[in-house]
Amino acid sequence: MRGPFNLWRLIRTGATFERTGAMHVVLEAMNAPPRLRFAARVLGWPFKLLGLKGDPNQPPLTRALTALGPAYIKFGQTLATRPDVVGQELADQLRYLQDKLPPFSRAEAMQMIAQELEAPVDEIFSEVSEPVAAASIAQVHSAIRADTGVRVAVKVLRPNVERAFRTDVDAFYFAARVIEFLLPSTRRLRPLDVIRHFESVVEGELDLRLEAASAAEFAANTENDEGFSVPRPIWNLSSRRVMTLSWVEGMAMGDNAALDAAGIDRNELGVRVLTLFLRHALRDGFFHGDMHQGNLKVSPTGEIIALDFGIMGRIDSFTRRAYAEILFGFIRKDYRRVAEVHFEAGYVPPDRDIDEFARALRSVGEPIFGMDARHISMARLLAYLFEVTERFGMETRTELILLQRTMVVVEGVARSLNPEINMWHVAKPVVEEYIRESIGPKALAGDLLATLRILARFGPHMPRLVEDALIAQAHPQQRVVAPDRNRPVIWGLVGGGLVGLGVVLGAIL
C-alpha cells in the first residue's frame, strides 16, 4: 500500500507549491520559459486544493517547504546559501529555514529532557529558557546546570520527527524508482543510491548520541585551527533525543550588518571559511557537511564557531588524493592530468578515450578561468564537469555527493560575505599544501612505511612459517603446507625480510 501513498505524497507536493504560490516563485527564479510556466499552471491548478495551506505569514517558498516537512526544509536550507542561483531576495527568504522555524513548546521539551535523562529537570538544570533557535529536526534551549551553575546549550529533537522523515524518504525512494523506470538514461546517476546516501545522513542526524560523537571528534581535529572553535559535548547530559554542549556566544554568519558594526573583516572571514573547509576535507577527511549560515556564528573577536554536527562527511585517503589532484589540475590548467586521475580512480570507464576526455575537460575549465572574480564559481565548475562526465559514462559517486554539495554551500556562504572573492586563489595554497604533504616523495615514503608495518605483523608467526616452508621444500612427498597457506608463507617471509628496511625508513622519517 505504500505505492499509492507515495504517489499521493508527490501529488500533494506539487499541489502545495501551487496553493502557496511557491510554484510561480521557483519558475521565476529558474527563468523558466513561458510555455513551461503555462503548463505548470494548467497541470497544477486542478490539484491546488489538495495542497497544504502552510503559514500565510511566511513567504511562498518558505511557506510550502515548512508545510511539507523536514526533508523539504533541508533542501531549502541549501538554496538559502546560493543567492547567485536563486537571487538575493529568494535567498533571504529561505534563510528563515536555517534557525528561525516555529519552535515546539517548552513544556514538550522539558518532558523529553526528563524522560531522556531519567531525572526531574529541576535536578539537572536550575534554569531552562524558551527556545533560542529552532530548525527542521531539533531546537535549542539555553540552560544552567544545577550542579555547577555553568550555562550550557540543550538540543532537543522535535516530537515525531523520526516518523516524518521516514515518510518523506519513502516518497523519495518511490520518486527515484519512477524516474529510473520512465527515464532509463538516468540510471547511470544511481538515483536510488543517492537517496540511500541521503537516508544514512538523516539517520545520523536523528540520533543525537552520534552527533555528540561527531562534535567531539571534530573538536579534537580542529583544536589547533586558528580562528575556529567547536563547542564540546557534555556526555552525561546527552542521550538519543537530547544533547548538551558548552554554551557559545556569537553573531550569525549571515548578519552582515552586525559583522560590519563589530568591525569584522568580511573578506578575511570569507577566505577563512573556504580555507578551513578545504583543510578539514583534505587534511582530516572529516568535515562539517552542513555549513550554511545558520550553523556558523562569529565571536566578537572574529572567531568562527561551528554548530550542529548532525551531518558530517568522511572521505578516505585515496578519495582525498584523487579529489585534490583534480582540483589542482584545474588550478594549473593541466587537463590531461585531471583526465588521468579520473581514469586512475575508476571514475570514468577504461574503454573511453582519455585524450577526448581531456579535451572535454578543457572546455569546462577555460571558460570559467576567463571570468572575473565575481563569476568564478566552484558550483559552476561542478555543474559543467557533471555534463562532461555524463557524456563519458561516469557513474554518480555517492561518497562524493556530500563533499560536492558542501563545497557549493560553503561557496555560497563565502560569497554572501564578499561577492568579489576569488575561489581559486583561496583554494590554491590549501590544495598545494595537501599535494606536497600527501602526494610527494615524503608521502610515498610514508605509504611504504605503513605497508611495511602491516607486513611486520607477520613477525610472531615467522618461526612456524619458515619451518613449514623448509619442511615442504625438503620433503615434498610429506607436504604439510596446504596450497592455501603458500601465500601467507611467502608474504610472511617478505614481511620479515622488510622489517629491517621499515625500521631504517622510520628512523629517517
Give me the pLDDT at residue 66, please.
85
473 against 111, higher pLDDT? 111
SS3 139: strand
* Range in 138-152, 300-314, 373-387 with the lowest mean pLDDT: 373-387
Which residues make Cβ contacts (< 8 Å) with residue 499, sequence separation at least 6? Answer: 452, 455, 456, 459
Three cell numbers written together for 199: 537516508
The residue ranges of every structural domain in the chain are 2-99, 162-203, 250-439, 442-508
Model confidence at 17: pLDDT above 70: yes
From the candidates 290, 308, 334, 353, give the one annotated as an active-site residue. Answer: 290
Give me the pLDDT at residue 109, please.
95
Place of cell 563565502: 414
Contact yes or no for 286/313 (Cβ under 8 A): yes
The verdict on whether 255 is a catalytic residue reads no
Say how far apart CA 417 and CA 255 lie, in whole Å: 9
Give me the pLDDT at residue 106, please.
94
Say how far apart CA 333 and CA 355 lie, in whole Å: 15
Question: Helix 191-205 crosses helix 161-182 at what angle (to 10 degrees)?
Answer: 170
Give me the pLDDT at residue 263, please.
94
- The DSSP string of 388-430 is HHHHTTPPP-HHHHHHHHHHHHHHHHHHHH-TT--HHHHHHHH
Three cell numbers written together for 208: 543525537
Buried b (16+ CB within 10 A) or exposed e, 341-380: bbeebebbeeeeeeeebbebbbebbeebeeeeeeebbbbb
Residue 406, amino acid:
T
Give me the pLDDT at residue 202, please.
74
- β-strands 304-306, 151-157 pairing: unpaired
Model confidence at 156: pLDDT above 90: yes
Model confidence at 506: pLDDT above 70: no
The pTM of this model reads: 0.73
Query: How far, in Å, are 72, 168, 465 from residue 69 at the CA level?
Result: 6, 8, 62
Which residues make Cβ contacts (< 8 Å) with residue 225, sequence separation at least 6? Answer: 276, 279
Beta strands in 30-157 (DSSP E): 125-134, 138-145, 151-157
What is the length of the chain?
A: 509
The 10s digit of each residue's pLDDT in 95-138 is 677 666 788 999 999 999 999 999 999 999 999 999 998 887 89
* Range in 70-79, 94-103, 228-237, 494-503 with the lowest mean pLDDT: 494-503
Which of 40-49, 153-162, 309-318, 368-377 has maximum average pLDDT?
Answer: 153-162
For 101-123, what is the HEC assignment?
CCCCCHHHHHHHHHHHHCCCHHH
Model confidence at 79: pLDDT above 70: no
Say how far apart CA 177 and CA 447 lie, in whole Å: 42
Model confidence at 488: pLDDT above 60: no
Where does the pLDDT of residue 483 fall: very low under 50, low under 70, confident under 90, or very high at 90 and above?
Answer: very low
| Signed CA dihedral, 109, 111, 115, 118: sign only | positive
pLDDT cut 70: percent of the chain above it: 75
Phi (first) and psi of residue 199, to 5 degrees = -65, -40
Say how far apart CA 241 and CA 157 lie, in whole Å: 5
SS3 145: strand
* Range in 216-225, 363-372, 486-495 with the lowest mean pLDDT: 486-495
DSSP 8-state assignment for residue 60: H
Give me the pLDDT at residue 502, please.
45
Where does the pLDDT of residue 186 fall: very low under 50, low under 70, confident under 90, or very high at 90 and above?
Answer: low
Three cell numbers written together for 246: 558548552
319 against 385, higher pLDDT? 319
Average confidence (pLDDT) over 388-406: 72
Give me the pLDDT at residue 19, please.
87
Average pLDDT, the chain: 80
Average confidence (pLDDT) over 144-171: 90
Give me the pLDDT at residue 157, please.
94
